Chain A
Amino acid sequence: MSDVVIVEELVKRYGDVEAVRGISFGIRKGEVFGLLGPNGAGKTTTIHVIATLLRPTAGSVLVAGHDVVKEAAEVRKRIGIVFQDPSLDWALTAWENMYIHGLLYGLSGEGLNSRIREVLEFVELWEHANRLVRYFSGGMRRRLEVARALLHSPELLILDEPTIGLDPHTRARIWDYIREVRKREGMTILLTTHYMDEAEELCDRIAIMDHGKIIAEGTADELKSLVGSDVIIARFDRPACFQSGPVKECRELPDGRVEFVVENAAKALPQLFEMAREAGLRIIEVSYRRPTLNEVFLHLTGRELRDAPAEGPRPFAMMGRRR
């Protein structure tokens, strides 16, 4: 097995709340693997276990062949992590933050100095190296955290919601860095996100998480093929489902709308209108989409990913301020 990360039957419980309920997955060397899911799905808990910051309740996690509980120090050497909440020392400069990180990871001397310069130039912060982090914008801080995670050239780079709370411009920039890191250093990357476009844009393989479980896993195309080709979503004056003509699959959604899976929505729509008229149904609303990961999520859970409620405890509420 050349998998960089192997997660087997991982369970994490906080009191009586089960944040992660027995998940298994592997991350191959050199790939970008995404955990996609709504807030509270258990993504952050999962990566905190992988990063040795939380002890699993059950199951095992190996990073580059090392157990995260028994060989935590070996695992820590090999990973770089960008947390969802800031973890910089605001009272120090960017350079000082990098320098401290380097020494904590066993680097020093000229090697460390030139590497600091290299990664700060990479995230375009070299000219701000001697400014206090306190005066950095949110985007600059995130870029600095990315640079810091790269400083010791980890085998596995972990990014927890790398673009949350960032403006579109900065977001695109972070995406560029991630692609560039992968190309230049061949690093294996694990990222969590609740943005479908981010998962689709960056990840080779995606695991969709919901309520502490992985409900689907594969490439974006594989996941979309779970839904079929196109999806029509309609609301009638009363719930109704029909499965004839172009409709390959039909089911009622919890919110009262009906989902039709069809080969080609543009051609199926007129036929669907006709069928509804014949059945005496009044159409209140209708829309169609080419399948996105959101449709996959909707298909698997009956809820939209974008408005899935935040659930479960925020495990590190104690650690950071809520935003």
Chain B
Amino acid sequence: MGFAKAFGVMVYRQLKRFVKARGRLIMTFVQPLIWIFFFGVGMGSVFSFSNPVAESFIKQMFGGLDYMTYLTTGVVGMTVFLGSFISGITVLWDKQFGFLKETLVAPAPRSAVILGRAFGDTLVVLLQATIIALVAKAVAPSINLLGLPGALLYGFILGMGLTSAGIVISLRMTTPESFQVVMNFVMMPLMFLSGVFYPLDRLPEWAKAIATANPLTYAVDGVRYWLTGVSMHDPLTDLAVLIGISAVFIALAVYEFSKATIE
């Protein structure tokens, strides 16, 4: 009964909540800007030389891009990664405030409820990513905004996957403190070993192994391809891997939520 209705109403709810939570609204924009500003200005100055030989050497390291372009395109992917994961984790708040029970006792298909929720959150995150991309264009003029729809497609797949991952974790999580543990020991390393801030090809083997298993690596690479034309992998490979990883997380979230009780 009413798959579309339930899906739609959860999208509606997530969007409404986003618009009303001004604090969250502001923070999600400010955080990536802080990265762009401090990392971009700091590292950008390290990597800028008046000597054209050194300059071209550096560019070669970043696939032919100047550091600001390299970084900001990565941050677009990172925004989706962090934003959607944290959105998924807000299921924990629904648990805390009881709204989760309201959705569990409803006759609407649980798969529709959880997919609608992930979709709504992903839309919000893509809006943020778009704004970050516009800011990036302002500081790194060589970015090609015509590639933005393509980049957002990669962002969408990553967003659905990471929201689902967040949902699975918060359904299993018993205390909000575990959220910090997951953030520090899983999300932070994945963020740094993804090619957002520096290229991966010179990393030690163990770090490369992590990067290879990291969904963000493929999202960042794909987004960078669409915005600059430069990428490490074939963008279709990126797409295929992202779809694979996200499908697993989405399936897990649907499964977990379908059999959720309040024990």
Contacts and interface: CB of A to CB of B under 8 A. Distances in A.
Contact of B262 (A53, A73, A79, A86): A53
B116 to A, nearest CB: 10
Interface stretch (A97-105, A272-280, A299-307): A97-105
Given A53-B262, A91-B20, A316-B262, A106 B1 contact: yes
B104 interface: yes
B34 interface: no
A320 B2 CA distance: 29
Contacts of B100: 87, 319
A76 interface: yes
Given A87-B98, A315-B262, A318-B95, A104 B103 contact: yes
B113 interface: yes
Contacts of B95: 318-319
B106 interface: yes
B52 interface: no
B142 interface: no
Contacts of A76: 105-107
A104 B263 contact: no
B261 interface: yes
Contacts of B13: 89, 92, 96, 100
A73 B20 contact: no
Contacts of A89: 13, 17, 97, 99, 102
Contact of A14 (B104, B109, B263): B263
Contacts of B2: 103, 106
B97 A105 contact: no
Given A83-B98, A89-B13, A319-B262, A104 B6 contact: yes
A54 interface: yes
B108 A106 contact: yes
B17 A91 contact: yes
Contacts of A240: none
A140 interface: no
Interface in A59-102: 73-74, 76-77, 79, 81, 83, 85-92, 96, 99-101
A87 B102 contact: yes
B98 A85 contact: yes
B9 A106 contact: no
B39 interface: no
B107 A73 contact: yes
Interface in B12-37: 12-13, 16-17, 20-21
B233 interface: no
A321 interface: yes
A48 interface: yes
A86 B97 contact: yes
A105 B105 contact: no
A83 B97 CA distance: 12
Nearest to A49: B261
B8 interface: yes
B96 A52 contact: no
A81 B75 CA distance: 45
B16 A92 contact: yes
Nearest to A75: B107
B105 A52 contact: yes
B56 interface: no
A79 B102 CA distance: 12
Given A89-B17, A92-B16, A103 B101 contact: no
Nearest to A51: B105
A319 B103 CA distance: 13
A108 interface: yes
A77 B96 contact: no
A55 interface: yes
Contacts of A105: 106-108
A106 B96 contact: no
Contacts of A85: 98
Nearest to A53: B262
Interface of A: 14, 48, 51-55, 73-74, 76-77, 79, 81, 83, 85-92, 96, 99-101, 103-106, 108, 132, 315-316, 318-321
12 contacts: A52-B105, A79-B105, A81-B105, A89-B17, A89-B102, A96-B13, A103-B2, A103-B108, A104-B5, A106-B108, A108-B5, A319-B95
Nearest 4 CB-CB pairings of A with B = A87-B98, A103-B9, A104-B106, A76-B107
Given A48-B262, A106-B5, 11 more contacts: A52-B105, A53-B101, A53-B105, A55-B261, A73-B107, A76-B106, A89-B102, A104-B102, A105-B106, A132-B20, A315-B263
